[in-house]
Amino acid sequence: MHRITLNAIENNYQKRLEWDVLTSSPAVRAQNISYSFDGLSVLHSVNLELRWGAVSVIAGPNGAGKSTLIEILAGVRTPQAGTVERVEDVALVVQRVSTPDALPLTVQDVVTMGTWGGPGMTASERRRRVAEALDRVHLAQLAGSPFNSLSGGQRQRALLAQGIARQARIFLLDEPAAGLDADSRARTRAMLAEEARRGAAVACVSHDDESIAAADCVITLSGGRVLS
């Protein structure tokens, strides 16, 4: 029994050391990022870092390149120049998402997708992660509901839960406050702040003044360039 306990302590200590080394560097580092659409320049030599345990907001006017930048940071779009370094798995929450009516996915199904591919994950571990993630985004009571029946804010929370179930360390969101009422915006801000308190790096595109004011870091884009 003593041997098992000692091994467990050593394993936990090793994981703590690995995480300390990991978090000594930025969660995401973008260097000299440039991007164009059909010859029209959208981003110009953008440099930024996203820190662990912080909520960063990417702000700026329409057409500044914010959504393009968040997609590049997430890896779903490739920059035409520059590099992006990510040291952990990324959960991307897009602004609008739907599924075909012929594909009747429930909220629980969508969140469970986040656990697919987990090495050696048992069925009980998968259920535990999904249940915990649904509870953290306050959607447990809607687990069996069709995903397409949710409001826009609820769908974004389901995708956030998907990343939580996957145990993602980096969360990138495109306009999480868009189309939401004041209470829903406040709830979303609180959830993102909670993930940051747990050590995650959180970044979102936003025009919402309250989200910008509450952020730990604000990255302002204008004309495809970082102003601050």
Q: 118 phi and psi, to 5 degrees? A: -65, 125
Closest by CA to 149, choosing from 113, 105, 180, 89, is 105
Residue ranges per structural domain of the chain = 2-226
Residue-level pLDDT at 139:
94
For the 2-226 domain, the top CATH level (class) is alpha beta
Task: Identify residue 29 by its one-letter amino acid code.
Answer: R
Q: Work out the pLDDT band at 5, boundaries 50, 70, 90.
A: low
Residue-level pLDDT at 72:
96
DSSP code at position 7: H
pLDDT of 16 > 60? The answer is: no
Helix (H, G, I), strand (E, B) or coil at 210: helix
Could you tell me the CA-to-CA distances from 47 to 40, 60, 75 in Å, in that order? 20, 16, 16
Total-model pTM? 0.82
